[in-house]
Chain A
């Protein structure tokens, strides 16, 4: 599959050493909760400061104008420097981004610096555009253009392949999802028939990489599917395989795919480990395991029949 042409939420970054990293990009709707969380957090901080100043003002008999000035100052500082501060010192994350597991990085994959954080946060206001007036909601309101529509941001992100808003484009940054590293699960194939069926697969059968991936995907996901659905899915592949292998046509399709998985990913790995320490094979040896049964329909144990 050509990953470049296929639509997906991933960005591939190639380093100068020709090493490729794949990041999952965060789109506008994944970023929205982080934005709202940060907004609420900022508002709560300003509100807390307001309450504190009212108490301090009352106790220290500060003039009301000064209290108001301090509150506006703090509010301004929170609005403009909150994102800048956190993204610069917290590896591209604000508390909202940390909670929603997203992060700002440079488009070349490196962590962002203070300059980039400044540019992308100072251009945030441009992404709120166009702003509409309060008059539209209530005709008696003053003509203050303060209701953000975010349409510029949405259009800009839609047109950018990395979901970059104006601030991101100017700063050369993008927002990615903090992925947890995927650890391949050790798939347990508890059915003892799997091992015996795997020995009946012709030893000279070589899987292509796409077939191996398909089998691995099936083995990984089969436990979450119903028995009927497993059979239905596995039948697509088991039909041509059974013909090729010369196996009985009533062999369980699910079991056959599990046997292929077992042979390719379990036995092969173990075998290669043994081979590393074993003496070189003689010239007349074959790939056939020593305990493999001859491949004849009569040799098939009855347990390999599909469940009725």
Chain B
């Protein structure tokens, strides 16, 4: 691996430039990104589909309810729930994409086996940090409750699911966005090994990387979320248009609810993973002089190989 030979030019960029650059990265690696995203997303998408299916039975929910007599209310609630659950689950589901992009920067093209094996090796840390502490797997709990009792209960859903679960996940991710990169790419252990003093534990590394950029990262997170929402809306509305042209049905139908809308959110979440990785690179360049480190390490390697004098 030649550290200063990178697939993405390592330099400090502004926020909008990073988002623009992510489009070029997606264009270059779209096949691999789509493949690894598919591998990661598939189990989550199937479970979500099964668990949220009862929420799409709008007519029966309407008949059973006395308070809410508009189908639109149930429809809106389903779309919000799907969006929230997918966005909370995205970091863990898209771990293979994170690992792949991290390797692709150094012009390494890992095979599917290598990516899955690398993610599998970090499985326990990923489940603990991303799944439990960052609520990605906890997001299944309200989905299970909604599967058994899909009746609309705003007094439970708004404070508990929306504010507690989604709000907490949003804030954690806003202030400490690069957990997946620290675990998968830097391979930081959860606890500091006793025999290695130079190895940082996950917590220390996360604190070191994030603490100097706290508010800035949160601002960026809000900006990216807005961009994601607008892009998701753009794709979803375009799909409605496409279905209208192909089938003559110009309404937002059940196909949109069950398949195309979740697909849109997963697409946007995959793109957001690429954006997050590029912001991770940018943060390391800004705070740690990462591009200098790569260049100096590469020069040191060259000096050790061939004496220059």
Is A1 in contact with B5, judged by CB distance below 8 angstroms?
Answer: yes
User: What 0/1 pattern do residues 211 to 243 of A give for CB contact below 8 A with B?
Assistant: 101100110011011000100011011011100
Is B292 in contact with A214, judged by CB distance below 8 angstroms?
Answer: yes
Is A150 in contact with B234, judged by CB distance below 8 angstroms?
Answer: yes
Q: Which of B5, B8, B292, B309 is the one whose CB lies under 8 Å from A206?
A: B309
Q: Which of B8, B25, B250, B296 is the one whose CB lies under 8 Å from A236?
A: B296
A118 nearest CB across to chain B (Å): 26
Q: Given A7-B7, A7-B24, A237-B296, is A154 in contact with B16 using a C-beta cutoff of 8 Å?
A: no
Residue of B5, B9, B233, B251 with highest tally of chain A CB at under 10 A: B9
Residue B242 at the chain A interface, CB threshold 8 Å = yes
A225 nearest CB across to chain B (Å): 5
B34 nearest CB across to chain A (Å): 14
A8 nearest CB across to chain B (Å): 4
Q: Which one of B37-45, B156-164, B299-307 is at the interface?
A: B299-307
Which residues of A, 151-202, contact B by the 8 Å Cβ criterion? 151, 154, 157-159, 161, 163, 202
CA distance A133 to B7 in the complex (A): 42
Q: Which of A7, A135, A205, A236 is the one whose CB lies under 8 Å from B297?
A: A236
B182 nearest CB across to chain A (Å): 17
CA distance A205 to B303 in the complex (A): 12
Is A6 in contact with B7, judged by CB distance below 8 angstroms?
Answer: yes
**Chain A: how many interface residues by the 8 Å CB criterion?**
57
Residue A132 at the chain B interface, CB threshold 8 Å = yes
Taking CB as reference atom, which chain B residue is nearest A27?
B20
Which residues of B, 45-101, contact A by the 8 Å Cβ criterion? none
By a CB distance below 8 angstroms, the chain A residues around B4 are: 1, 210, 214
Residue B17 at the chain A interface, CB threshold 8 Å = yes
Taking CB as reference atom, which chain A residue is nearest B223?
A29
By a CB distance below 8 angstroms, the chain B residues around A217 are: 291-292, 295
Is B23 in contact with A149, judged by CB distance below 8 angstroms?
Answer: no
B22 nearest CB across to chain A (Å): 9
By a CB distance below 8 angstroms, the chain B residues around A214 are: 4, 292, 295-296, 298-299
B101 nearest CB across to chain A (Å): 11
Is B6 in contact with A218, judged by CB distance below 8 angstroms?
Answer: no
Residue B169 at the chain A interface, CB threshold 8 Å = no
CA distance A36 to B303 in the complex (A): 52
Residue B149 at the chain A interface, CB threshold 8 Å = no
Q: Given A136-B250, A214-B292, is A7 in contact with B9 using a C-beta cutoff of 8 Å?
A: yes
B135 nearest CB across to chain A (Å): 28
| Interface positions of A (Cβ within 8 A of B) | 1-3, 5-10, 26-30, 32-33, 130-133, 135-136, 147, 149-151, 154, 157-159, 161, 163, 202, 204-208, 210-211, 213-214, 217-218, 221-222, 224-225, 229, 233-234, 236-237, 239-241, 244
Given contacts A218-B292, A237-B299, A241-B303, 4 further A-B pairs with CB under 8 A are A9-B17, A163-B23, A214-B298, A221-B289
| Interface positions of B (Cβ within 8 A of A) | 4-9, 11, 13, 16-17, 19-21, 23-28, 227, 231, 233-235, 237-238, 240-242, 250-252, 288-289, 291-293, 295-300, 302-304, 307-309
Identify 13 residue pairs between A and B in the complex whose beta-carbon atoms are under 8 Å apart, listed by A's number. A8-B11, A28-B20, A29-B227, A30-B20, A149-B234, A163-B23, A211-B302, A218-B296, A233-B293, A237-B303, A244-B307, A244-B308, A244-B309
